[in-house]
Amino acid sequence: MNLAYAKHLFALGPTVEYGPGVYENIGQVVAGWGCKKALLVTDPNIVKAGISGRVVTALSAHGVSVEIFDRVVTEPTDLFVVEGVSRLKDMGADLVIGLGGGSAMDCAKCIAVMAENPGHITQYEGAVAEFPNDKQVRLITLPTTSGSGAEIAGWAVITDSARSYKMSLGSPYLEPDYVFVDPLLTLDLPRNPTAYSGMDALSQAIEGMLSRRRTPISIALGMYAVRLISENLPKAVIRGWDLEARSNMSVGALLAGIVINTSGCISVHSLAETMGGLYHKPHGLLVGLCLPHVLEFLLPGDHKLLAEIAVALGGNISGCTMYEAAKQAIVEVNRLLDELEFPSLIDVGLREEDIPQISQLAVGNVCSADNPCEMRLEDYALILNNALEEARPQA
């Protein structure tokens, strides 16, 4: 596909403030809107770490009262959304804040939107969720991880508790009004969540660039995201207090979030989301483990693009043919996974007898629509069977 002849859409979304210390400006921004009561959606670990307290202090200084809704103990379900809407209405909140990882921010988005919409969140599943009404409360997100890109995305993933199924929904109404990306809020993130969320961000940047809906702008942002993440993720994992590494990871993950908001994810996420429902392992862990296997499958595709991704990952392609250069992308992802001590898909539970079910669900996953080539059930099965043969694909 020659992108020079294609038509593209790039929607500029919410205002984003980023950099160390920007979260302290939240009170001023909110006071400027005239908001008085905030529902702060988060998880108990964020409260325990004192992070929510710092945000509450910044809001209180500008006369904004805050109720903390810290029910997001796991990946959010429709029941959390129902409870959050009820809390929002009881307190008469005019602002919802999502503080945490993707789970807390997605839950906050859904609470803000469902406060104005009929029925149940589960009836709005799909890439174009047909909410009749836009939210009437303001919505702010503050990530405490560098990974999901949920801070910027008009997407949410919510588990339908009746079906035990993770559903995705997309709508411009889910986009926040304002985003604070502050690396100071990520300094306490432990080693494994840092590694897993970082690999999620890396894969999202790569997937968005390979997507059928890739654009020149998403490729430009994605390449820089890959560069920032591959250079800084090992440092952030080993030295969590390294503000420079954390800051670069925050920007890399934000850029990756913009990339997928524009171009979507592909089969890496189809597989990881499906396996997440089956094996209950962290999303970023599964994404990282699926990434090199999917790249191996896509290797016959756009060699030039994969070669550019290899360079952004830190690969040396001098003297390589274009095909060899493209393969370096897999080498570099494997190197990163080994450096971060990721296990194999077998170690996290992949079994031969599960492959038909995983393949079936992955084909139907919303991300599969953006694969750069058609991927059938047997293609997903091939990728998974290869993963049973070798932990990391040989490039």
- Least separation in angstroms between residue 269's CB and Fe ion is 6
Sheet with 37-41, side-by-side order of all strands: 15-18, 178-181, 138-143, 95-100, 37-41, 65-69
Q: Minimum distance between the CB of residue 341 and Fe ion, rounded to whole angstroms? A: 20
- Closer by beta carbon to Fe ion, 51 or else 150: 150
Q: Which residue is nearest to Fe ion (CB)?
A: 200
Distance CA 308, CA 313 (A): 9
**Smallest distance, Fe ion to C-beta of residue 363, A:** 19
Amino acid symbol at 33: W
In whole angstroms, the minimum distance from the beta carbon of 305 to Fe ion comes to 20
Q: How far is the CB of 322 from Fe ion (least distance, A)?
A: 29
Of the pair 43, 200, the CB lying nearest Fe ion is at 200
Q: Shortest gap between Cβ of 200 and Fe ion (angstroms)?
A: 4
DSSP 309-332: HHHHTT---TT--HHHHHHHHHHH
All residues at 6 or more sequence positions from 253 whose CB lies less than 8 Å from its CB, including other chains: 143, 145, 146, 147, 148, 149, 197, 198, 201, 225, 229
Nearer to Fe ion, 252 or 315 (CB): 252
Task: Return d(Cα 334, Cα 288) in angstroms, integer.
Answer: 9
Tell me how far, at minimum, the Cβ of 248 lies from Fe ion, in Å: 19
Cβ-based nearer residue to Fe ion, 176 or 276: 276
Closest to 210 measured CA to CA, from 146, 157, 260, 150: 260
Q: Output the smallest distance, CB 203 to Fe ion, in A.
A: 7
Residue number with CB closer to Fe ion (70 or 200): 200
The shares of helix, strand and coil residues in the chain, as percent rounded to the nearest 5, are: 55, 10, 35
> Which phi and psi (to 5°) does residue 178 adopt?
-155, 140
Q: Is 123 exposed, middle or buried (0-12, 13-18, 19+ CB in 10 A)?
A: middle
Q: Is 165 helix (H, G, I), strand (E, B) or coil?
A: strand
H or E stretch at 168 = strand 165-170
- The 8-class DSSP code of residue 77 comes to B
Whether 55 contacts 97, CB under 8 Å: yes
CA–CA separation, 207 and 226 (whole Å): 11
Q: Which is nearer to Fe ion, 200 or 370 (CB)?
A: 200
Report H helices in 313-390.
Answer: 322-339, 355-364, 377-389
- What residues line the site for Fe ion (CB under 5 A)? 200
Q: Which is nearer to Fe ion, 182 or 200 (CB)?
A: 200
Whichever of 84 and 101 has its CB closer to Fe ion, that residue is: 101
